Each structure stands twice: as C-alpha cells, then as structure tokens.
Structure 1
Amino acid sequence: MSAKTNIVVVGGGYGGIAVATKLELALHKTHQIILIERKTHFYHAIGGLRTVVEDGFENKVIIPYDNLFKHGGKVLHAAVTTIHKNEIIVDTETELGTHIPFKYLIIATGSNQSKPARMTADNKEEGIAEIIAQREAVKNANKILIIGGGPVGIELAGEIASVYQKKEVTLIHSENHLLTDKFPKKLTDSLAKQLRELNVKLIFGEKVIFPSSGIGDGLSPLTLETDKGTQIYSDVQFVAFGAKPNTEVIKTLDESIIEQNTTLVKVKPTLQLEHDDYAHIFALGDITNIKETKLAYRANLHADVISKNIIALINNKKLAEYSPGPEAMLVPIGKDKGATVLPIGNMVVGSFITKNLKGKTLLVDKTWKSLNAKFVA
C-alpha cells in the first residue's frame, strides 16, 4: 500500500476519466489517484451509434484504459459494492485488496443508457460481439423502430437512414416535436426536416406500450402498440430514452442523499454531497440532481470544478461553485447533416458547423487523446 493519501474515483466514463487525470496531474507527488472501473475498456458512447452502420467502427469507440495515468495513478477493474465514509469495498481482489480507504472520493457512476449508446459487456471481445450482432440485425432489417426523439434517437435515426435509404426507419416520440421545450423551435424543426428528407417517418405525441416481458435485445421482429392504438411492426427496435442514474451503490453510504422521485444524488453547488458529514465526497455527471440536460460535456465541466475544489480543500482555500450554463447541443444526422444550438443567445446553426465540430469524426480522436491512448487503424 502506497504511503500517499488515496483519492478514489468511482466510474470510468467521460467525467470520471476527466477528473482522475486532472487530479493526477496536479497532485501525483502527494496523493495516489485510483480509478475504479468494472469494464476493461472505455466505451466512447458519443461515437457508439455509428457502429450499427459502419463496419469496424467498434475499434474506434472501445478504448483501453492502459495509458490513462502518466504519474503512477492506478486503474482497478472491479465493481464497488459498498461505500463507507472513508472506505469503499469492491467485489474483486485487486492489488490494493477489496477494502480501499480514501481521503477524498468522487462518484462518477453515470447512467444506464440503452444499446448502442452503451456497451453492456465488461470486456472488448464481448463488446465487439454485441456491436456486430446489432449491425447485422440492422443490415438485414427492412423496418427499424427508434423509440425516443431525444438526441440519441435523432442521431441514431440519422446514422441508419443516411446509410440505408431504402429501409423504413420510424422514430416515435411522446412530445409533439423532437427533443423538449427547452430547445429552440428552429433547432427541432430543422432536425425534423432533415430526418424527413431521409424518409424517416416521425410519429409525435404517442407513447409505446411495452409488453410486460419487455422487448428483449430488440433484434427480433415485433409489433408494438402505442397509447393511441397505433400498431407499429418492426424487424429491429432501439430504445433511445429513459436513461437511469446508477446511484444504487450510493445508498450503502446514506439513502438520505438520494432523491426518492428521481434517484439522483443531492449535491451542493460545490458538487460535494449535500450532507455535512460528507464534505470530502463529490459526485458528478448524470447522477447529480443539478437542473440541466445530462450531456457528456457537462460532466467534464463538473470535473473541472471538483478537481479545483479538492485542491482547495487540501490547501484550506475557498471552494468554487458550479453554475449550469445555457443549453448547448450538437446533433449530427449522419456524417454530413445536422443542427446545433450554441450557448450564445440560443443561436441555431446548421449542417456545416455540426458536421465539422462533431458529425464527421464523432470526436473519436479527441476521446482517444483524453485517455492518453493511440489509435492504430
């Protein structure tokens, strides 16, 4: 066991790797940075949607953690089963054992998206098999149903329809337009127009009634009915809504810091847990009860505040507070189309900026760099 004081990060998603690398850079001489992550590889979910249409793209979105740390930080592949005030317990024997003490803890456990916006497998080999099964199902399907008209549903419909013009792609959304009322009408109208130009059928104001047995892996023919009686047959179904925050393990610390109705974690503006006993424990990303859209770039902003605040606590300085900024979202439709709302006066821009900022590469190069990994084609 290192003589250095432990700072533990639970969860190796976008926010987790950002805060872990920032803290290691600043504090490696005095603190041991430890990232706990069950999976052997990072899954670049922002690029994951393209894997259903592009052969080999899985190799661009499954990224090793091997070179994440440059100054002796440790990545431990295990799942946290219990959180105590100054110690976590993991389910796997690691080089540091199963009981790992900490001075500071950052909880970055994220949310459970549906495939292909996440990889359920714990390792690369099984993850690739998972992706190939989805891609083959899409390739062989005539009718594809996407349930949910948020950014994931829109992007997924765009990826499929821009590659397979002859397939019948239907997107159903419970709102009366794409996204939500938080976003400018110009943005939602532009995205709807572009999808329709790709012959995507849009059904608004209806909810799918899921059978009690669920829809399995979504890769088999199925007829589903909406709350308004519309019957929709499809060969493949993708669920693109209802991400659930992964906060169950936090209840082992203290159930009172979880909101009952949302299961989100209560945090202070400093991103410390909202409880005076846990001033040394922080949370970031999708699991927090901050009133803002849950997007990857916001987890990176949370990471900035938390890394500064842990350094401030160590040096007895005043803590910074996080303030949600204006809405910003890039929504590509395939490699060449899409629309974006900028955080400057709700300005909406079109395909040129969207494809160059995100659509062409889906931030693959940037993400590999953030893990200090080198992509080999």
Structure 2
Amino acid sequence: MRMAHGLDELADVTLIEPREAFFHCVAAIRAVVQPALLDRLIIPYDRLLRNGRIIKARAEQISEGCVVLGNGQTVEGDFIIAATGSNYARPFKAQSDSIADFRSHQAAAHAAVEAAQTIIVVGAGPVGVELAAEIKFAHPGKSISILAASDDVVPGIASKLSKALRPQIADMGIDVQLGAFVDGVDRTDAPFAGGLHAGGKTYEADLIVPAFGAKPVLPPVECAAASASGRLEVDQWMRPCGYQAVFALGDAADNGDPMTIVAVRRQVSWLLKTVKKLIDGTSVETLPAYTRATKPLLLVPLGQKKGASILPISRSGCLAGPWLTQKAKGRDLFLTDTRKELGYT
C-alpha cells in the first residue's frame, strides 16, 4: 500500500489487492474493547492512487516481469514488489478478504470479552501485552492474566523495555505467568472458552485469547525458498530467487528485521528510494544494499495511560516512558497517518 502510494506520481502503478479494504491491524487490538474504532480502521482503497490502478484479485504466480492472477490474467511490470505480510489469530488480523467477515470476527471478540469475567491472554509479545492492557483499562474489574513460555514480556527487543513494562503491567492488576510452555490448547486461530495446559498445570478461564505466532504469508514467487524462520529468502537488495527486478518486503521477507510495522515502514522507505533510482536507469548493484536496523525500536502502549518504548537513539536503545509512548502511538495508534496515506483525512 505504502509502496504503491509512494510511486504513484513517478510510474504507472498497478496494485494487485484481493481485499475489499485496508484493515489497520495496529488499531484492531483496541477495537476489541472499542468497536466504534472499526469505522476508522477499515479504510477503502478508492483514494489511494490518483494515477495508477487497483486490480481486486489475488496473485497466483510471480516471476521476472510478470504476475499471473487467479483468473489467469497476466499483468506485466518492469518492477514487481511482493508484500504479502503475515497471518495472525483473529480478531487481530483479517482472516479473509471480506469486510463483513472482519466486522463479524471483531464483534464476536468484543461480545466474548464483555461476557467474560476471567480472561487469559496466551503470549507475552507486544500483541498479547497490549491486548491484556486494553481489556484491563476498559474493564478494571475483570481478572486478566498473561500466560507465556517466554522468560519475560516483550522478549527479544531490549531488556530495559521489558523491565519498564513489568511493573506497569503489575500496577494495572494483570497477572503474568512466564516460563509456562503451552502444550495443550483447543485452538490457536481464535479466542475460545475453556482450559489449557501449560507448564504442567491446567488453567481455566471464561475466555482464552491466543496472541502468539505470527505466520509469514509467502508470496507465490517461482522457485522461492523459505528460510528457517518460514520467511522468503532474499538477497541484500531484498530480491528472491536471483531475480533482477522482483522485490519482497515486509513480514514475508527474511531480511533480518522483526515482523513489526516499524520495520516495514523502514523497509518501504529504503525500497522507495531504490526503485526511484532504478526508474532513472541506475543499476541496482551500484546502490546501497538494505541493512537491517541494529538499534532497537518498539512502542508498547498499555491501555490509554501507561506504556513504554525503546527508541533507536543509542546502540542499546533509549527508554521512553508512558507520556511519549502515548503521544507517539497510544493515543492514535497511527490511525491518522494511515488514513492520510490512503487519501482519508
């Protein structure tokens, strides 16, 4: 979406997109307790491109200079960019191309949270932590627990960020059980009621919400190979299969970045500059290769008052507290910027 918008004034852009609208998943977490947000986070594509075109279809095959659609139609291009993203359990990401389905899944999750008194969120990554905090902020009387196999909340980013989040989560009255590997769960794709087994114990709750395991959606690139992480192998210019003018970015591409919206925006910025140079006739091998971010960056709001962030100001990152976290992300969840990119002010 961002790539298409950024190139619209410079090239003849065709966006191949099967979904009826853009679903801003960052705000979908809060929409579980504030369903009125759905009207803002479901954004049509009709204002995205002024000059280019949008084909509502699914790509079935990608090769050098050519994309074959599900109906057999062929779309040719000098440069092809695959950005197929990742899947996640509902209601955090859309499970189909339909707006109605997304609204239905969100409504079901909202109703389940409203009815439940005891809720377990499985997973202590950013999604799990943010969801638990959003529910607790909206419903302080409910019993909310986070259950995870990891040894800390939001692991793998920066230890100082985890240490800053832990006491805030505790102050909200959210129970956190870490180091509990889940070895028995009824389902991983949607919330459910009942029990699960973890760390040799059985846990029961009115509602159990899986919030772990984002899975990359590999683009249908000919001769594509998946890395150990399940993402598409790419070279230093984010090209798969040795292709010259086919690029892959985002959650689906194994370029060393984590699967976060911040990482995707950084990749888009680099690829926009690269493709603009290529349009002018520059050889890709003469351009700077993509390098993953070496400084940590993550913003984790906890409801609408708390949270912490790690900013890429030093090698180990600079810790920011609730005020800056809320100002940068928590208050708006990037909704205004995202809607603006799609032509909606």
The whole-number CA distance in structure 2 between the counterparts of 1:292 and 1:303 is: 12
Q: Among residues 307, 313, 325, which one is paired with 1:344 in the alignment?
A: 313
62, 83, 94: which one pairs with 1:83? Answer: 62
2: CA distance, partners of 1:279 / 1:292: 22
Q: Does 1:224 align with 2:190?
A: no
CA distance in 1, matches of 2:220, 2:241: 17
| Aligned twin of 2:105 | 130
CA change 1:155–1:21 in 2 (3 A) is same
State whether residues 238 and 255 of structure 2, in contact with CA within 8 Å, keep that contact through their aligned partners in structure 1. Answer: no
Q: Show the counterpart of 1:4.
A: none
What's the counterpart of residue 265 of structure 1? 232
CA distance in 1, matches of 2:215, 2:151: 23
Letter in 1 for 2:290: Y
Find the counterpart in structure 1 of residue 50 from structure 2: 70
In structure 1, what is the equivalent of residue 3 of structure 2? 19
Shift of 1:91: 1.8
Name the amino acid aligned to 2:271.
Answer: I
Q: Give 1:195's aligned residue.
A: 169
Instruction: State the shift of 1:70 in Å.
Output: 1.5
Q: CA deviation at 1:133?
A: 0.9
What amino acid does structure 2 have at the position aligned with 1:265?
Answer: L
**In structure 2, distance between residues paired with 1:274 and 1:298:** 22
Partner in structure 2 of residue 7 of structure 1: none
State the Cα RMSD in Å: 1.7
Per the normalisation by structure 1, the TM-score is 0.86
How do residues 331-370 of structure 1 correspond to structure 2 at under 5 angstroms? 331-345=300-314, 346-370=317-341
Q: What is the DSSP-based 3-state SS (H/G/I as helix, E as strand, rest coil) of the residue aligned with 1:56? A: helix
Could you tell me whether the CA contact under 8 Å between 1:271 and 1:302 is conserved in 2? no
Once the two structures are superposed, the pairs formed by residues 163-182 of structure 1 within 5 Å of their partners are: 163-182=138-157
- Tell me the CA shift for residue 368 of structure 1: 0.3
Q: How many angstroms apart in 1 are the aligned matches of 2:35 and 2:154? A: 29
Q: 1:362 to 1:82 in 2, by over 3 A?
A: same
Is contact 1:292–1:324 with CA below 8 Å preserved after alignment? Answer: yes
1:139-183 CA-to-partner distances (Å, cap 9, x unmatched) read 001111111111111111110011111111111121211122431
Structure 1 residue corresponding to 2:271, chosen from 296, 300, 306: 306
- C-alpha deviations, 1:234-277, integer Å up to 9, x for none? 22222211111101623xx013x322x222112222222251xx
Inter-partner Cα distance in structure 1 for 2:279 and 2:322: 46
Unaligned residue ranges in structure 2 (runs of 5+) = none
Once the two structures are overlaid, the 10-residue window that deviates more, 110-119 or 154-163, is 110-119
Distance 2:156 2:277 in 1: 38
Shift of 1:215: 5.4
Q: Does 1:214 align with 2:187?
A: yes
The CA distance in 2 between the partners of 1:200 and 1:208, in whole Å, is: 19
Q: Please state how far the C-alpha of 1:312 moved relative to its aligned partner.
A: 2.2
Q: Is the 8 A contact 1:58 1:128 kept in 2?
A: yes
**Contact 1:46 1:362 survives alignment (8 Å):** yes
Q: Does 1:205 align with 2:179?
A: yes
Amino acid at match of 2:195: T
1:49 aligns with 2:40: no
- Give the superposition deviation at 1:216: 6.2
Matches within 5 A, 1:278-317: 278-317=243-282
AA aligned to 1:79 is R
Give the ranges of 4+ consecutive aligned residues of structure 1 lying more than 6 Å apart after TM superposition: none
Kept after mapping to 1: 8 A contact 2:87/2:217: yes
2:342 corresponds in structure 1 to 371
Match in the other structure for 1:8: none
Partner Cα separation in structure 1 for residue 188 and residue 25 of structure 2? 22
Shift of 1:102: 1.9
Q: Report the CA distance shift for 1:305/1:194 in structure 2 as closer, same or farther (over 3 A).
A: same
- Checking the alignment, whether the CA contact within 8 Å between 2:19 and 2:56 is kept in structure 1 is yes
Separation in 2, partners of 1:265, 1:289? 5
Report the counterpart of residue 19 of structure 2 in structure 1: 39
Instruction: Specify the alignment match of 2:80 in structure 1.
Output: 105
Distance between the aligned counterparts of 1:207 and 1:163, measured in 2?
28
Instruction: Give the letter for the 2:232 counterpart.
Output: V
Return the match for 1:183 from 152, 155, 158: 158
- How far residue 340 of structure 1 moved from its aligned partner, in angstroms, is 0.6
- 1:120-150 Cα shifts (integer Å, max 9, x gaps): 2322233212211110110001111111111
Q: State the shift of 1:210 in Å.
A: 3.2
Q: Report the 3-state secondary structure (helix = DSSP H, G, I; strand = E; otherwise coil) of the residue aligned with 2:155.
A: coil
CA deviation after TM superposition for structure 1 residue 79, in Å: 1.2
Q: Is the 8 A contact 2:86 2:252 kept in 1?
A: yes
Partner secondary structure for residue 355 of structure 1: helix
